[in-house]
Structure 1
């Protein structure tokens, strides 16, 4: 039996099931990681793969809490599970990672440093790296004062000496252990068994059989099947070259007990001996059974290695993804802060521009109002004179006709009144209006302009209207008035812009406001229908950009140079 049963049991006791002693050494406040506690529950249920997953989750949670000691504890337990399931290389890697989280001068870390170095020694011994294993075991000794811990390490070092065929050194260590623990100690049968095995390897003339049988009796009385199994193994090996019947007998007993213990390594060892000791069909049956168990063991170990590697890979992948998301979040937050800063700067600049513009507009409006009042007063004087000449004289003529003619036809009176109406209408749209059409537009705009809704006019110069036909002027006047009426009724705008642009023979009037836009049903009503009708007669186009905030309208047409 290549691995002594005592060595194996101690590994199970102090590696795979060390949680009880661990909890005794931990403050209550450190036992608050739910993943860590769940992992031990799964270990109690012999669900080692699941326990590994939860130890890994516990490690991540400890790291998030900046608890490096907790992360190290989780890694030690993960490494021990890997060793127990045959992933020795992975176990060493995980144990080395765990060592970075412990402080070798902190007594609170000693028990885990001991377990970690002991596990490194076990995994190295399994890989037959005996020098490394011996160094790790001796390192573990510096972190414990417990007599059982020291006995376990001494036993493990003795196993290394035995595996290196340094039987004298192994016998010396086992002799001290047997003499020191006494026959009443529960470990005595195991120590005696290993001592006699190494002593026989040291001196082939030595007969350990009686001591082997003595160990079997003690272990059976104690219910220690593992030690009994090891004794059967040693007896079978001892008789292999001396008495094949006895060797076969103990090999069969070892196989039956190993199956009961569900320990495949000892099953393989017993089958290996039985293949040598039997012939023909029986030997072939043992060989088939050996092959199946060996394949199962190798498959199980490979599966464990792959699972552990996949779990760690997914964990690191998730960690990398989390770091990437954190980086993206930080970048987004930085961009948001930059945008906020730019928005505030734009608001400040906008407010400054608004204040300056408002002041400039106010001064400009005051000048324009003063100028408009002066022009209006002058126009009133001129208009009063024309009204007197045209309307008053016309009325006087009608009155005189009625007074001087007793029987005047109704049609004649109506004709005279209609003629007076035409003259008064001509007065309203006099040549002055046609030659100074820009003033008429300005007057129209000013009638809608107020402090709540200022209207900015750009490009309404005499030159813009100079080559436009009079009938089109009248249509455009009515269109602009309709737009301003709709603005006043529906838009709730606080600013309106009218811009007149001429590009050679092409003319364009731009209207825009910052109101609430116009509902679709308003656009389809009479006002806009009349606008579209007038534009159609002018061969003009209109583009409406109706939005939730504001509305833009562009009216474009072409005038011949000789218009």
Structure 2
């Protein structure tokens, strides 16, 4: 199992929200209250330029220069802004522990005069980090703080959606549905299509998880809006959710949506989304495709891990160097050491988790191929045994009769009506035996006519010598019985009656059908010689046992009775 859940693309919308907050235009009246000679003016332009170009290590360096060279007493807003940007960069690079530590550094600088948008952005960033670190209680707490300070209805609605996603992460789908339903019916959702699609996608996913039929409509509507807006991240989410929705009911359609999610993530070069889409493709792909997707997933995951690790090391070094320049006191150095230890522990845990997941994946693949090979051998053995049995029947029951009939035809005067009638009787017997062998090995229809075919087969064993009685066969809901169970049951009863006809010397057979809460049963009994006498051929009963075991059933022979044979067949429901 990978850490990115099925609604992982929703996190991208959270990051975009954070970026929206962070990229607000600097106001000379609210941000820059110092003179043009301050360190802020010296470093802010290169920091913003590098950030806009995606050169995050350089941007991080210049924002850190603003943080370390600003006066904590007079430049609180500038420090908060630089920490916001640094936390956003670390978050973008997947360093959630480092981002949480950086964002937390901004909290002591909050004053009554600090702009609300900065507080909202800090709290929202902390919510995202705790969500990624699976600390859901803190995630909700900081999202609620951000929502309380949000100064526009859209910001508040987006943050409420973030809270709903946390509920989804906790599998509290009913709580998420209550919140998302309110959001979907608000004027904000009607006026902002991107937000509406995001809410509908989350709502559709929640309904899917609780198996509510409304899921499909919401997911499809969200997809239509994302297609209308040509919003790439939203399309990735919609395709992914629809693939999950159709995974069991329509595997081919699920595979198609998973491919579209992967193609879109690849087109916009979103590595995390590509990784999530590959994981989904591994779940919905055929065995022949699984190996390629698994290989691609492992390669990409390894590459991402290396890139993120390099970025984490760079950020750590930049901070460390700046800290050295400021000659921090021993207490601050001790705190940094604790943070580094926690980061190392987190990194170790991540590597350990990845290694365990890799081992599990390898074990699953090996188990799959082992079971597949085992199933193939069992099928081959069954085919061989069936062919051997048919060959023996042809030899024992037909070969001698055919030979004797040929000899009769060659040596007798067929113009004699009596001899001719004898020949015809012999041919009719051969035809009857041939037809019986054909019926025993012909294909079995498992559809609506199965019950009738089963009755006809059972009644076919009745004769002037033996009476076959069938009870309660119509009480069984045959349309709910698996196809392989129907076939196995047909052959098992056929084997038992053939064995009875050959060896039991009985005059009647009773077959009673029964179903309980866990299984359905067939009770067989006859008044023959029973199990206490030697049975000339054990192949029939061995075939019965093998067939039942292949579908997880069981057979019980009642040896306590001195007369006749009693058998109970049990099949899992």
| TM-score bucket of the superposed structures, by smaller chain | 0.5 to 0.7
**Superposition pairs for residues 193-204 of structure 1, below 5 Å?**
193-201=201-209, 203-204=210-211
Contact 2:18 2:124 in 1 (8 A): no
**Superposition pairs for residues 13-92 of structure 1, below 5 Å?**
13-15=17-19, 18-23=22-27, 26=30, 29=33, 33-63=41-71, 66-92=74-100
What is the CA distance between 1:139 and its match in structure 2?
A: 1.9
Partner of 1:407: none
Contact 2:240 2:280 in 1 (8 A): no
What secondary structure, in the 3-state scheme, does the structure 2 residue paired with 1:142 have?
helix
**Superposition pairs for residues 179-218 of structure 1, below 5 Å?**
179-180=185-186, 181-186=188-193, 187-201=195-209, 203-218=210-225
Cα distance between partner residues in 1 of 2:281 and 2:190: 34
Partner of 2:306: 299
Partner of 1:316: 323
What is the CA distance between 1:184 and its match in structure 2?
A: 4.0
What is the CA distance between 1:281 and its match in structure 2?
A: 4.9
Give the CA RMSD over aligned residues: 2.5
Instruction: Determine whether 1:164 maps to 2:180.
Output: no
What secondary structure, in the 3-state scheme, does the structure 1 residue paired with 2:190 have?
coil
CA, structure 1 residues 315+274, in 2 after alignment: closer, same or farther (shift >3 Å)? same
Instruction: Determine whether 1:11 maps to 2:15.
Output: yes
TM-score, normalised to structure 1's length? 0.53
CA, structure 1 residues 141+218, in 2 after alignment: closer, same or farther (shift >3 Å)? closer
Instruction: Determine whether 1:145 maps to 2:151.
Output: yes
What is the CA distance between 1:8 and its match in structure 2?
A: 2.1
What is the CA distance between 1:7 and its match in structure 2?
A: 4.4
Contact 1:79 1:92 in 2 (8 A): yes
CA, structure 1 residues 157+227, in 2 after alignment: closer, same or farther (shift >3 Å)? same
**Superposition pairs for residues 101-500 of structure 1, below 5 Å?**
101-103=109-111, 105-106=112-113, 108-180=114-186, 181-186=188-193, 187-201=195-209, 203-320=210-327
| 1:162-207 deviation digits (Å, cap 9, x = unpaired) | 1111111101111111100243422211211111111222x31425
Higher Rg: 1
Matched residue count = 320
| 1:123-182 deviation digits (Å, cap 9, x = unpaired) | 000011000111111122332332122112201110111111111110111111110024
Cα distance between partner residues in 2 of 1:60 and 1:228: 41
| 1:487-520 deviation digits (Å, cap 9, x = unpaired) | xxxxxxxxxxxxxxxxxxxxxxxxxxxxxxxxxx
Cα distance between partner residues in 1 of 2:105 and 2:178: 35
What secondary structure, in the 3-state scheme, does the structure 2 residue paired with 1:92 have?
helix
CA, structure 1 residues 310+168, in 2 after alignment: closer, same or farther (shift >3 Å)? same
CA, structure 1 residues 173+322, in 2 after alignment: closer, same or farther (shift >3 Å)? closer
| 1:48-96 deviation digits (Å, cap 9, x = unpaired) | 2211111001112323895233122211211121111111111111111
Contact 1:16 1:84 in 2 (8 A): no
Cα distance between partner residues in 2 of 1:61 and 1:98: 15
Cα distance between partner residues in 2 of 1:33 and 1:216: 45
- Which of structure 1's runs of 4+ aligned residues deviate more than 6 A? none
Cα distance between partner residues in 2 of 1:25 and 1:198: 45
Cα distance between partner residues in 2 of 1:94 and 1:10: 18
What secondary structure, in the 3-state scheme, does the structure 1 residue paired with 2:249 have?
coil
Contact 2:206 2:215 in 1 (8 A): no
Structure 1 window deviating more from structure 2 (123-132 vs 46-55): it is: 46-55
Cα distance between partner residues in 2 of 1:27 and 1:128: 34
Contact 1:6 1:191 in 2 (8 A): no
Cα distance between partner residues in 2 of 1:228 and 1:215: 9
What secondary structure, in the 3-state scheme, does the structure 1 residue paired with 2:54 have?
coil
CA, structure 1 residues 64+37, in 2 after alignment: closer, same or farther (shift >3 Å)? farther
TM-score, normalised to structure 2's length? 0.52
What is the CA distance between 1:3 and its match in structure 2?
A: 3.9
| 1:282-309 deviation digits (Å, cap 9, x = unpaired) | 3211111101110112112211211111
Partner of 1:492: none
What secondary structure, in the 3-state scheme, does the structure 2 residue paired with 1:309 have?
helix
What is the CA distance between 1:112 and its match in structure 2?
A: 1.3
What is the CA distance between 1:22 and its match in structure 2?
A: 4.9
What is the CA distance between 1:36 and its match in structure 2?
A: 2.0
What secondary structure, in the 3-state scheme, does the structure 1 residue paired with 2:71 have?
helix
Contact 2:245 2:254 in 1 (8 A): yes
CA, structure 1 residues 200+304, in 2 after alignment: closer, same or farther (shift >3 Å)? same
Cα distance between partner residues in 1 of 2:62 and 2:310: 18
Cα distance between partner residues in 2 of 1:110 and 1:212: 35
Contact 1:19 1:40 in 2 (8 A): no
Contact 1:144 1:150 in 2 (8 A): yes
Cα distance between partner residues in 1 of 2:80 and 2:191: 38
What is the CA distance between 1:9 and its match in structure 2?
A: 1.9
Unaligned runs of 5+ in 2: 331-573
Cα distance between partner residues in 1 of 2:175 and 2:279: 29
What is the CA distance between 1:37 and its match in structure 2?
A: 2.8
Cα distance between partner residues in 2 of 1:135 and 1:322: 32
Cα distance between partner residues in 1 of 2:296 and 2:31: 50
Cα distance between partner residues in 2 of 1:12 and 1:160: 17
Q: 1:95 aligns with which of 88, 96, 103?
A: 103
Cα distance between partner residues in 2 of 1:258 and 1:210: 24
